[in-house]
Amino acid sequence: MTPRTEIADLIVIGAGPAGANAALAAHNAGLKVVLVDEAAQPGGQVWRAPITAKAKQSPVKDIDRKMGDALRQQLVSANIHILTDTQVWSADRQPEGFEVGTIGEAGTVFLRAPRLIAAPGAYERILPFPGWTIPGVFGLAAATALLKAEKTLPGRRIIVAGQGPLLIAVAAQAVALGLRPVAIVDAASRADWAKSLAGYARQPRQLARGMRWMAQLTRARVPYYRQHEVSSATGADSLAGVTLRSLKSGETRTIDVDTLFVGNGLTPADEVFRLLGADQEPCPISGTQRVVCDELGRCSVPGLYAAGDAAGIRGALPALHQGRIAGLAAAHDAGALSGAALSAALASSSRALTQLQPFADASCRLMRLSGQRVAAAPDDTIICRCEDVRAGDIRKAINQGAVDINQLKHFTRLGMGPCQGRICAVNAAEIIRQETGAAVNSTRLTPRGPIRPLETAQLIGEFGYSDIPIPKPAPL
């Protein structure tokens, strides 16, 4: 049995604000679109659909929930062909266009189209510290996902730590659930936040929500440690304590808690772009890398477009407009939309993007994780959790001659585990950069598929021996 293939004019990966709006724009312009997302429902991270009864019943006053419900309704009304619960695991260039391998309930299905918009969003970064892999330590972004889908958070005595707006969002929602954090640990100073205010003021609704959250935290008298970071966590099978350190004085204090939520910004999910060989550039705002694209989302690979956080972290509203723009550009490039119609349709989104940029920049600046902080990890800090490679192992390998990250992988197995280096590679790269002054290019792992670990059974399906196309035997 050979896997099924679906043919379309346009494949869109990711049904978050970016991908869903890209699909809608291209579909409305007349393209045959297939939209894929591994989640059960469209919405992406920020507009994630509620799953549990508790989450569904909670009052719909949250703007993210409203936006998400509206988007889901739009996709249904437009009758967009969408494959949910379906993971993209490969992306290939072929003479006729792109082939995207997916896996879902129907097993392996290949999608083919001359055009591809990739909008897979972002991953959260965590500044590694000794103990960050102890059960009971969760990402801030993971916490927001839980809050949206299930309206719940684990833990009884919690600390919320890291940097950027998610810190406040998670802490305030924890308070609202009756789970008052023992501490908020924020890498930023009051002045850092003040600098961001001008940007935030451009989005009055978001700013108002942020202020409400801050007021809730003040009312609940949650101890707020500014310019602090988590320097270590202890516990064997579960978290027992967290040590905070002042970034100014270096002073530390230890607090007993059973749960820590910690996150240090986002980095684009770039596997699809890298597998397809699209050019990358350093992102001045987030400090990591992003795919190179023009103002319409076109990448260096013809027919490939990027939108949303995957094209550089900007947040949900810019993602919506970037998605719409990429969808229109794909429709135009496919001949479904004239140049004049494209310019007319673009105007509102282009204006909106310009207007939203200061807000995006403000958030990004707060979320930016400095390379020096990463590179300062003590030797016993785990960097690659899949293969248990520690900062000291990396420094030793560098001393023994591993000057680029692929060599480091051979020396230490870093990045060889199931997560494919998604979490550790950026951090290991900072250590290499610090120790050797290496150029950015030599700090990327060679992209390798599959994008996510694949269930072998799903990949191969049912087959008979004669279904395997066995090539000519090797010479004797």
Partner 1 sequence: MSTETCDLAVIGGGVHGASVALFAARAGLRVTLFDADALCRAASGTNAGTLTMQMTRAALIPYAMEAHKMWTDASRWLGHDVGVVACEGLSLAFTEREEQILSDRATARGAAGAPIRLITPEETLKIEPNANPGIRMASHCAIDGYANAYLTGIAFRRALLEAGVTIREYTPVIGLEPTGQGYDLKLRDGKASARQIVLAGGVWLEPMMEMLGLRLAIKTLVNQLAVTERAAPLMRTVVCIASGLLSLKQFPHGTVVIGGGWQGTGDRDTNSHRATTESMIGNVRLAVHAIPRLRQTRIVRSWTGFESETADALPALGPIPGFEGAWICGAVHSGYTSAPYTAHCLTQAILGGEPDMPLFPIDRLLTAPLRDPQRSTH
Ligand X SMILES: Cc1cc2nc3c(=O)[nH]c(=O)nc-3n(C[C@H](O)[C@H](O)[C@H](O)COP(=O)(O)OP(=O)(O)OC[C@H]3O[C@@H](n4cnc5c(N)ncnc54)[C@H](O)[C@@H]3O)c2cc1C
List of residues contacting ligand X (CB under 6 A): 13-19, 36-39, 44-46, 87-88, 119-124, 141-142, 144-145, 169, 266, 269, 308-310, 315-316, 319, 451-452
- Distance in Å, CB of 225 to ligand X, minimum: 22
Cα 284 from Cα 339, distance rounded (Å): 32
Which partner from the list ligand X, partner 1, none does 416 bind, CB cut-off 5 to 8 Å by kind?
A: partner 1
Q: Is 97 in the site for partner 1 (CB under 8 A)?
A: no
In this chain, which of 101, 165, 265, 287 binds partner 1, going by CB under 8 A?
A: 101
Which partner from the list partner 1, ligand X, none does 122 bind, CB cut-off 5 to 8 Å by kind?
A: ligand X
- Distance in Å, CB of 316 to ligand X, minimum: 4
Paired residues of 299 in beta bridges: 293
Which partner from the list ligand X, partner 1, none does 144 bind, CB cut-off 5 to 8 Å by kind?
A: ligand X
Cα 119 from Cα 316, distance rounded (Å): 12
Q: By CB under 8 A, which span of 138-146, 175-183, 223-231, 404-412 interacts with partner 1?
A: 404-412
Paired residues of 254 in beta bridges: 243
Q: Is 450 in the site for partner 1 (CB under 8 A)?
A: yes
Q: Output the 3-class SS for 359-386.
A: HHHHHHHHHCCCHHHHHCCCCCCEEECC
Site track for partner 1 across 4-43, x = CB under 8 A: ----------------------------------------
The strand ranges marked E within 145-197 are 158-162, 183-186
Q: Which is nearer to partner 1, 179 or 384 (CB)?
A: 384
Q: Which is nearer to ligand X, 119 or 375 (CB)?
A: 119
Q: Among residue numbers 312 through 371, which ones bind partner 1 (CB under 8 A)? A: none
Which partner from the list partner 1, ligand X, none does 101 bind, CB cut-off 5 to 8 Å by kind?
A: partner 1
The separation between CA 248 and the C-alpha centre of its own chain, rounded to angstroms, equals 30
String of DSSP letters for 218-258: HHTT--EEETEEEEEEE-SSS--EEEEEETTT--EEEEE-S
Q: Is 463 in the site for partner 1 (CB under 8 A)?
A: yes
Q: Which is nearer to partner 1, 277 or 282 (CB)?
A: 277
Cα 455 from Cα 458, distance rounded (Å): 5
Q: Is 210 in the site for partner 1 (CB under 8 A)?
A: no
Which partner from the list ligand X, partner 1, none does 330 bind, CB cut-off 5 to 8 Å by kind?
A: none
Greatest extent of the chain over all pairs of C-alpha atoms, in Å: 80
Q: Are 48 and 340 in contact (CB under 8 A)?
A: no
Q: Are 100 and 13 in contact (CB under 8 A)?
A: yes
Q: Which is nearer to ligand X, 245 or 368 (CB)?
A: 368
Q: Is 99 in the site for partner 1 (CB under 8 A)?
A: yes
Q: Is 150 in the site for partner 1 (CB under 8 A)?
A: no
Q: Among residue numbers 260 through 319, which ones bind partner 1 (CB under 8 A)? A: 275, 277
Q: Name the residue among 27, 51, 38 with its Cα closest to residue 121.
A: 38
Q: Which is nearer to ligand X, 162 or 235 (CB)?
A: 162
In this chain, which of 404, 405, 432, 433 binds partner 1, going by CB under 8 A?
A: 404
Is residue 173 packed enough to be buried (19+ CB in 10 Å), middle (13-18) or exposed (0-12)? buried
Q: Among residue numbers 57 through 96, which ones bind partner 1 (CB under 8 A)? A: 90, 92
Q: Are 416 and 387 in contact (CB under 8 A)?
A: yes
Cα 393 from Cα 370, distance rounded (Å): 21
Using DSSP, state whether 346 is helix, strand or coil.
Answer: helix
The tokens for 239 are 């978290």
Q: Which is nearer to partner 1, 199 or 421 (CB)?
A: 421
Q: Is 212 in the site for partner 1 (CB under 8 A)?
A: no
Using DSSP, state whether 187 is helix, strand or coil.
Answer: coil
The tokens for 286 are 């987030």
String of DSSP letters for 271-310: HHHHHTT--EEE-TTTSSEEE-B-TT-BBSSTTEEE-GGG
Q: Is 439 in the site for partner 1 (CB under 8 A)?
A: no
Residues within the interface to partner 1 (CB under 8 A): 3, 90, 92, 99, 101, 108, 110, 275, 277, 397, 400-404, 406-407, 409-411, 413, 416-418, 420, 446, 448-450, 453-457, 459-460, 463, 465, 467-471, 473-476
